[in-house]
Amino acid sequence: MTFSLSHVVSAGLLVAGLVHLAPVAGCLGQAQLAALYGISIDGPNAEILLRHRAVLFGLSGAFMLWAAAKSELQWLALSAGLVSVISFLAIAMMVGAYNAAIGRVVMVDGVVLLALVIASLAKYRLHAA
């Protein structure tokens, strides 16, 4: 089987989508959020914000997985994924002094960024051809 540029695009979106689904476990409560991010959740306000963040990541991840099979949605999904990953990495670098759990998220998001850049270049090549 030949691995075409369209397969590269889909693979990049699958990787990003699956990674973006991981935080959905945080919807279940404080214990799951603490395990994901290595932090204690101080009060209901932080819990509300982080659980809502988990829902948004679930939507984002599901959209990227859907777009992996829908060519007409791929540019939008690639753009959304790139904004998500780049903004997180930029904020982490600007703030700094994060814990080991956030450091793992930074590392994984670096891999996702690479996957999305490669997928975006493949999508561009498909349209340029």
- Residues 75-96 have pLDDT tens digits of 999 999 999 999 999 999 999 9
Alpha helix locations (H) across 38-99?
44-68, 74-95
Query: So what's the pLDDT on residue 3?
Result: 74
Q: Is the pTM of this model over 0.85?
A: yes
Residue 112: how many other CB atoms lie within 10 Å: 25
Residue 78 amino acid letter: L
The percentage of residues in the chain with a pLDDT greater than 90, rounded to a whole number, is: 85
2 has a pLDDT exceeding 70: no
Name the token pair of 43. Answer: 């009060």
